[in-house]
Amino acid sequence: MADDLKYPIGKYNEQPFSEKLKEEWIAEIAVLPQHLELVMQNLDVAQLHTAYRPGGWTVNQLVHHVADSHMNAFCRFKFILTENDYTIKAYNQDKWAGLPDTQNLPVNISITLLFALHKRWVEILKNIPAESWNRTAFHPVHNKMVSLWYLLGSYAWHGKHHVAHIQQLRKRMNW
């Protein structure tokens, strides 16, 4: 049950490259802001400050986390496309989730940010040359080289993963 709450759509599994999957993942990234906005509709302040699972972040923190994570993703893609031997800059997502912007600002700030960010990110994703999907960077948290292709799938999964957290919470709580 705990894994169902933590990973409602399962864990990310790397997939081999395919044009069809690339188009699906880019489309999923493109619509994530709308999906987040829809799943957040009509939640009150108390609901926004409810943890999606015991010991987990609140809905408010989840939404701000997606914005933080995807800002990092956008920059990671740009660095990997423009630099050789790039090492991804890791960040402590739990500490970021505890900062004042995440604690004090309404979620619509991050949702608005995601709409703009994803427009720019998707424009880059749609125009990455086929040979560049194999460009890599070292990921210090995973202690391995990761390709743009791997990151695309990971971030498409990431958005759906957090939308599913909120959907699952709403269903459990009858919101």
pLDDT digits (tens, 9 = 90+) for 104-136: 999 999 999 999 999 999 999 999 999 999 999
45 residue type, one letter = V
Within 8 A by CB and 6+ apart from 49, the residues are 58, 59, 60
CA 123 to chain centre: 17
Of all residues in the chain, the percent with pLDDT exceeding 90 is 98
Please report which confidence band the pLDDT of residue 1 belongs to, taking 50, 70 and 90 as the band edges: low
Burial class (CB in 10 A: 0-12, 13-18, 19+), 80: buried
Alpha helices in 10-147 (DSSP H): 19-40, 45-48, 59-82, 93-97, 100-104, 107-126
pLDDT band at 3 (very low <50, low <70, confident <90, very high): confident
Q: Could you read off the pLDDT of 12-30 as tens digits, one per residue?
A: 999 999 999 999 999 999 9
Angular region, 59: left φ>0, alpha ψ -120 to 50, beta rest: alpha
Q: Could you give the CA distance from residue 139 to residue 87 in angstroms, rounded to a whole number? A: 6
On average, the pLDDT of the chain sits at 97
- Give the pLDDT of residue 61: 96
CA dihedral sign, ordered 158, 163, 166, 169: negative
